[in-house]
């Protein structure tokens, strides 16, 4: 009975029940911590960067091949850092939507995002139809 009531509470805006949303929140919180730890391992603090982090520049030595390796690894770090930062941003936005009670609502058509899609991609902020339309228009 309790579950039915909980579902009814959310059904006007999304087909997700409270328990699922809480599970998503827990999962995203864990992911967020993992990303922050990876970023810390990858980047050094830098107050000149907007996010206070800069990709680490590795020091292997002064030989030409060592220098080449440093530059190569630096760009890898830089690329990974950008990917992680983007993922972190998506997670933070999603956690905010959960707090605001907007989770599972498409940001374009305001319709519900299918539960199946959210379980596959918890940070999705648009329904599959709007996503398709956007991709077709690109």
Query: Judged by CB under 5 A, how many residues of this single chain contact Zn ion?
Result: 5
In whole angstroms, what is the distance from residue 118 CA to residue 100 CA? 17
Site membership for Zn ion, residue 87 (CB under 5 A): no
Query: At 57, is the secondary structure helix, strand, or coil?
Result: coil
- Our CB check for Zn ion shows the closer of 53 and 114 to be 114
**Least spacing, CB of residue 91 vs Zn ion, in Å:** 21
- Our CB check for Zn ion shows the closer of 15 and 69 to be 15
Looking at residues 100 to 129 of the shown chain, list those that interact with Zn ion (rule: CB under 5 A). 106, 108-109, 127
- Containing H/E element for 50? none
**Least spacing, CB of residue 123 vs Zn ion, in Å:** 15
What are the CA-CA distances from residue 119 to residues 12, 80, 100, 113 (Å)?
A: 19, 25, 19, 10
- Our CB check for Zn ion shows the closer of 55 and 106 to be 106
Helices (H), 43-127: 64-100, 115-120
Please give the structure tokens belonging to residue 102. Answer: 């907007």
Please give the structure tokens belonging to residue 91. Answer: 């997670």
- Our CB check for Zn ion shows the closer of 54 and 130 to be 130
**Least spacing, CB of residue 113 vs Zn ion, in Å:** 7
DSSP state of 54: E
Site membership for Zn ion, residue 78 (CB under 5 A): no
Q: Which of 36, 54, 123, 130 binds Zn ion (CB under 5 A)?
A: 130
Query: At 30, is the secondary structure helix, strand, or coil?
Result: helix
Residues that bind Zn ion (CB under 5 A): 106, 108-109, 127, 130
């Amino acid at each position: 009975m309790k579950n039915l009531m909980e579902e009814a509470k959310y059904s006007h805006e999304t087909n997700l029940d409270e328990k699922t949303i809480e599970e998503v929140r827990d999962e995203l919180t864990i992911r967020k911590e993992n990303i922050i730890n990876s970023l810390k391992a990858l980047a050094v603090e830098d107050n000149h960067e907007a996010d206070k982090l800069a990709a680490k520049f590795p020091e292997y030595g002064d030989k030409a091949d060592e220098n080449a390796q440093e530059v190569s690894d630096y760009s890898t770090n830089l690329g990974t850092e950008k990917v992680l930062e983007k993922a972190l941003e998506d997670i933070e936005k999603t956690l905010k939507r959960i707090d605001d009670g907007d989770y599972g609502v498409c940001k374009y058509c305001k319709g519900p995002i299918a539960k199946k899609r959210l379980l596959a991609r918890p940070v999705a902020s648009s329904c599959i139809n709007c996503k398709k339309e956007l991709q077709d228009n690109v």
